[in-house]
Amino acid sequence: MAEIKEQKAQGKTIEVWFQDEARIGQKNKITRRWAKRGTRPEALQDLRTRSAYIFGAICPEHGKAAGIIMPKCNTFAMEVHLEEISLAVDENAHAIIIMDQAAWHTSSKLKVPDNITIVPLPPKSPELNPVENIWQFMRQNWLSNRIFKSYDDIVNICCDAWNRLSDQPWRIMSIGNREWLYRS
């Protein structure tokens, strides 16, 4: 696949993007909280199981982000996300998207836009994907320690959190940049 796209990328600038998905739902994570020494802070926890997935991608060099919220992780959702990323890529650029090897990322049925080439990460190497750090930041600041009223509430809060991140290109650059990415 990368060889076919190489010709389409010739003469264009290359944008390096990273992509991943995160499940956000009613059975939510509890994060650390500040509390007076010797006390135990309370944190609400929901035992219901509705959830949604944030499909997120960042281009740390330019501070850009593209994301969608979907009810499931599958090939269709991945295609919709790739289209969203494709729209965020500069007109005279070609995107290299670095992502893990989830089944919906490597499916032979996956339709990849012409201005995108997918590069898989080695197996079991989430530390190489800065989007994992984006999820950690979003959970610590906007998504954890809360009770979601409904599925629509989950989607709305996920959209709000992703839009907040997208409006902060400096944060995307700070969290997402990797020194190894720019070595020759």
Q: pLDDT tens across 84-115, in order?
A: 999 999 999 999 999 999 999 989 999 999 99
Rg, C-alpha atoms of the chain: 18
Taking residues 136-143, what's their average pLDDT?
94
Q: How confident is the model at residue 3 (pLDDT cuts 50, 70, 90)?
A: very low
Q: How far is CA 107 from CA 49, 78, 79, 102, 163, in A?
A: 27, 10, 11, 9, 29
Predicted pLDDT at 4: 41
Distance CA 70, CA 100 (A): 18
Predicted pLDDT at 7: 61
Predicted pLDDT at 160: 98
**Percent of the chain residues topping a pLDDT of 90:** 68
CATH number for 11-24+47-182 (one of 3.40.50.150, 3.30.420.10, 3.30.1330.10, 3.10.450.50): it is: 3.30.420.10
Predicted pLDDT at 87: 98
Contact (Cβ atoms closer than 8 angstroms) between residue 101 and residue 94: no
Q: Which residues pair with 52 in a beta bridge?
A: 24
Predicted pLDDT at 154: 94
Q: How far apart are the first and last CA of the chain?
A: 23
Residue-range domain boundaries for the chain: 11-24+47-182
Judged against a pLDDT cut of 80, whether residue 184 lies above it is answered with no
Distance CA 41, CA 90 (A): 46
Judged against a pLDDT cut of 60, whether residue 1 lies above it is answered with no
Which distant-in-sequence residues (6+ apart) come within 8 Å of 151 by Cβ? 50, 52, 71
Which DSSP category does 122 fall into? P
Predicted pLDDT at 145: 79
Mean pLDDT of the chain: 88
Output the six-digit token pair for 182: 């720019």
35-74 tens-digit pLDDT: 788 887 766 665 556 889 999 999 999 999 999 999 999 9
Range in 19-23, 39-43, 147-151 the model is least confident about: 39-43
